[in-house]
């Protein structure tokens, strides 16, 4: 009986680990897609865009949630006098969330390790 509980506990731990890895990868991908979308609106060249993508991804590490990214992007748009509303930005983030998760799921269809199941399965 104790083995059953131990196996179940390991299963829950593995699922939690996988879910957290997926969440992190999907959020990073979403932020990359968002940065590419904003960079185009800001008229950035490829070198500026590459740098900007890194800045946006790193800005999401400042605090939990997406508010740190929203503040950064709105500030950047204001500085370049490119109008964007917070509701428009948040709607785009929501749209990109779904795209990022689908992309990540397609890139990691197999288990990440012996304590994982396949992504999206």
Tell me: pLDDT of 105 over 70. yes
Instruction: Say if pTM beats, i.e. exceeds, 0.95.
Output: no
Residue 100: its pLDDT value, please?
Answer: 94
Banded model confidence at residue 5, pLDDT cuts 50, 70, 90: confident
Q: Out of 1.10.790.20, 1.10.1060.10, 3.40.630.30, 3.90.45.10, select the CATH number for domain 25-107.
A: 1.10.790.20
Per-residue burial over 46-61, b = 16 or more CB atoms within 10 Å of its CB, e = otherwise: eeebeebbeebbebbe
Residue 34: its pLDDT value, please?
Answer: 97
Residues 6+ apart with CB under 8 A from 114: none
Tell me: pLDDT of 52 over 90. yes
């Amino acid at each position: 009986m104790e083995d059953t509980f131990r196996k179940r506990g390991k299963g829950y731990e593995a699922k939690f680990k996988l879910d957290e890895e997926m969440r992190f990868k999907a959020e990073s991908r979403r932020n990359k897609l968002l940065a590419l979308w904003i960079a185009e609106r800001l008229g950035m060249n490829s070198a500026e865009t590459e740098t900007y993508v890194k800045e946006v991804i790193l800005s999401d590490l400042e605090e939990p949630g997406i508010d740190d990214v929203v503040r950064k992007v709105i500030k950047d748009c204001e500085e370049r006098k490119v109008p964007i509303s917070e509701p428009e930005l948040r709607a785009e983030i929501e749209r990109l969330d779904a795209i990022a998760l689908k992309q990540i799921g397609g890139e990691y269809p197999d288990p990440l390790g012996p304590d994982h199941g396949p992504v999206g399965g």
